[in-house]
């Protein structure tokens, strides 16, 4: 039986065992990419890392049983990320080149594409980066690095909340280095997710040496969102070795993260202390003046004309992150094009409010409760009601933890939301999970997946 047939049959049986939405979400683009009759290992290709982790942790057993029913020789499943979309169907990753390409949404921004060699996108430059008190240290370090690579701030670790300009800054640094050194040194920008994928493929296809060589011959390695490597042992190990070799050879390493090294619980101690031995800078929320400067900068870049009072309005309304600015400018621009006239304050205010409202609504308590329920396959009622069944106690505590962690809700509010519980229960749950998450890798992983899922449903 060919792989396609085998997988179709297995899917038919899996479909009967799980809910329709789950089936469509997780299996629609899956495929069987390899089957080794000697070892009994089959390789299933999925869309992205997120699906991979989810499917692996939740459906491995069902899938294995379904496959075994058809072919008793199968005894283990491996999962790989092969991407989605036409053309990529059933291409075993082992025969795909170890490309360093970016996820598709990052590949093309504003009609320009990232450089295939460096992965750097030309739109990110120092020139288009607005500097203010919230990012001046990170910026100054970046400029110094771009002039004198590998000497001063090494490794350079920059962290800050989502949408505050980390990717912009580290990519701009890479672009500046290429320019300053006239392309004589090799720069590579890699989202950490991509690094993990490469390592996983390499292990599977026994081509670790290729990957080792590829990364270790770089002069400047820029890794974005390192927090995603935390807890993935082989990748972390490999990253650590790569890191050491580059570091010993005075190569520059630039890393971004959404939190400081000390707050990535699964990061191995030795890696953490390496980061802490270099330069660490944070990026915080911009103040009003800076927001205004960014807005002016963006509209100029996009060739959009917006009245001054509308720019002020955006600056005063935006609270959360800089990325929101772009979305709003795009909407206002669209409105003006559509109407063929300059937008007035009232219409602008409506558009801004509705955009921001959507964003706030995107992560609310209900959303978190819903996702936790989906993850553990229990109902929202079961999370909230008073049952002490073991299967619901942990999800309930995780929910309370996330309400605090992601939304910063007060303990009494959390208690209230969770079926009128006492606030001490909320405190207890939060502290318990906080403690355990540093010790229990699998719990940490679960929480990371749940958070990603919550974020995934939000536009940010
Ligand atoms: P992060 O990687 O921290 O999540 P990004 O670098 O992707 O954030 O920034 C989100 C958006 O905001 C990008 O379009 C970026 O160009 C813009 N941005 C953020 N900070 C600044 C800044 N200081 N100056 C200009 N644009 C900025
Ligand atoms: Mg980023």
Per-residue pLDDT tens over the stretch 56-91: 888 899 999 999 999 999 999 999 887 654 333 333
At 321, which CATH number?
Answer: 1.10.8.60
Considering only CA atoms, which residue is closest to atom 9 of ligand 1? 165
**Ligand 1 pocket member 164 (CB < 6 A):** yes
> In this model, does residue 128 exceed pLDDT 60?
yes
* Alpha helices (H) in 71-191, listed in sequence order: 104-107, 136-147, 166-180
Query: How confident is the model at residue 88, as a pLDDT?
Result: 33
Determine what percent of the chain is predicted with pLDDT higher than 90: 41
pLDDT tens per residue across span 95-125:
223 232 333 334 445 557 889 999 999 999 9
At 415, which CATH number?
Answer: 1.10.1750.10
Ion ligand 2 residues within 5 Å by Cβ: 167
Residue 76 lies in a domain: yes
Give the mutation target among 165, 294, 296, 455 for probing the ligand 1 site: most ligand atoms within 8 A of CB: 165
Closest CA to 187 of 145, 227, 225, 241: 145
Among residues 318, 344, 359, which one ends one of the domains? 359
- The mean pLDDT value for 149-156 works out to 89
Closest CA to 167 of 260, 254, 256: 256
Least confident of 47-51, 103-107, 206-210: 103-107
Same domain? For 252 and 377 the reply is: no
> In this model, does residue 453 exceed pLDDT 80?
no
**Ligand 1 pocket member 163 (CB < 6 A):** yes
pLDDT tens per residue across span 9-24:
999 888 888 776 677 7
* Alpha helices (H) in 263-379, listed in sequence order: 269-276, 288-302, 308-317, 323-339, 345-362, 365-376
Counting from 1 in the atom list of ligand 1, the atom nearest the Cα of 160 is 3
**pLDDT confidence bin for 201, thresholds 50/70/90:** confident
> In this model, does residue 348 exceed pLDDT 60?
yes
Q: What value, to the nearest 5°, has the Cα angle with vertex 326 and ends 325 and 330? A: 120
> What is the token pair recorded at 445?
């992983």
Residue 35 lies in a domain: yes
- The mean pLDDT value for 317-338 works out to 86
Same domain? For 346 and 383 the reply is: no
Give the list of residues 6+ apart from residue 173 with CB closer than 8 angstroms, or none.
Answer: 126, 142, 145, 146, 222, 254
**Ligand 1 pocket member 299 (CB < 6 A):** no
Query: How confident is the model at residue 26, as a pLDDT?
Result: 77
Residue 107 lies in a domain: no
> In this model, does residue 340 exceed pLDDT 80?
yes
Residue 383 lies in a domain: yes
Give 87 Cα–ligand 1 centroid separation in angstroms.
32
- The mean pLDDT value for 135-164 works out to 91
Give 104 Cα–ligand 2 centroid separation in angstroms.
15
Query: How confident is the model at residue 167, as a pLDDT?
Result: 96
pTM score over 0.85:
no
**pLDDT confidence bin for 92, thresholds 50/70/90:** very low
Residue 330 lies in a domain: yes
Which structural domain range is residue 346 located in? Answer: 288-359
Same domain? For 298 and 275 the reply is: no
SS3 (DSSP) at 225: coil
Structural domains in the chain (count): 4
Report the binding-site residues for ATP.
163, 165-167
- Ligand closest to CA 223: 2
Query: How confident is the model at residue 359, as a pLDDT?
Result: 63
**Ligand 1 pocket member 436 (CB < 6 A):** no
Query: How confident is the model at residue 242, as a pLDDT?
Result: 87
Query: How confident is the model at residue 403, as a pLDDT?
Result: 94
At 83, which CATH number?
Answer: 3.30.300.180
> In this model, does residue 158 exceed pLDDT 90?
yes
**pLDDT confidence bin for 456, thresholds 50/70/90:** low
Q: Residue 364 and residue 366: Cα distance in Å, rounded? A: 5
Query: How confident is the model at residue 64, as a pLDDT?
Result: 94
């Amino acid at each position: 039986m060919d792989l396609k047939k085998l997988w179709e049959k297995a899917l038919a049986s899996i479909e009967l065992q799980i809910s329709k939405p789950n089936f469509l979400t997780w299996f629609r683009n899956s495929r069987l990419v390899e089957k080794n009759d000697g070892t009994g290992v089959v390789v299933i290709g999925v869309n992205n890392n997120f699906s991979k982790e989810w499917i692996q942790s939740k459906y491995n057993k069902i899938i294995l049983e379904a496959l075994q029913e058809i072919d008793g020789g199968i005894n283990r499943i491996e999962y790989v990320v092969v991407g989605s979309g036409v053309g990529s169907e059933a291409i075993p990753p082992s025969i795909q080149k170890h490309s360093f390409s970016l996820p598709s949404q990052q590949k093309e921004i504003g009609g320009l594409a990232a450089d295939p060699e460096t992965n750097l996108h030309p739109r990110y430059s120092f020139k288009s980066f607005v500097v203010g008190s919230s990012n001046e240290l990170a910026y100054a370090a970046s400029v110094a690095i771009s002039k004198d690579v590998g000497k001063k701030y090494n490794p350079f670790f920059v962290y800050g909340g989502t949408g505050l300009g980390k990717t912009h800054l580290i990519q701009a640094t890479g672009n500046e280095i290429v320019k300053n050194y006239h392309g004589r040194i090799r720069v590579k920008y890699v989202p950490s997710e991509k690094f993990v994928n490469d390592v996983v493929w390499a292990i599977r296809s026994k081509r670790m040496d290729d990957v080792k060589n590829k990364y270790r011959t770089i002069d400047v390695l820029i890794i974005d969102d390192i927090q995603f490597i935390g807890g993935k042992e082989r990748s972390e190990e490999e990253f650590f070795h790569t890191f050491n070799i580059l570091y010993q050879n005075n190569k520059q390493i630039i890393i971004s993260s959404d939190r400081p090294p000390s707050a990535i619980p699964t990061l191995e101690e030795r890696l953490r202390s390496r980061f802490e031995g270099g330069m660490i800078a944070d990026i915080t929320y911009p103040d009003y003046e800076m927001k205004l400067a960014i807005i002016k900068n963006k509209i100029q870049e996009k060739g959009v004309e917006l009245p001054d009072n509308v720019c002020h309005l955006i600056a005063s309304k935006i609270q959360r992150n800089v990325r929101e600015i772009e979305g709003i400018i795009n909407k206002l621009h669209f409105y003006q094009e559509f109407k063929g006239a300059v937008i007035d304050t009232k219409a602008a205010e409506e558009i801004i409010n509705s955009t921001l409202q959507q964003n706030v609504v995107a992560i609310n308590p209900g959303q978190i409760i819903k996702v936790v329920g989906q993850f553990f396959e229990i109902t929202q009622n079961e999370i909230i009601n008073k049952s002490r069944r073991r299967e619901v106690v942990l999800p309930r505590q995780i929910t309370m933890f996330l309400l605090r962690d992601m939304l910063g809700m007060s303990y009494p509010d959390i208690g209230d939301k969770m079926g009128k519980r006492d606030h001490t229960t909320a405190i207890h749950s939060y502290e318990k999970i906080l403690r355990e998450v540093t010790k229990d890798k699998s719990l940490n992983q679960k929480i990371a997946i749940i958070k990603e899922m919550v974020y995934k449903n939000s536009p940010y």
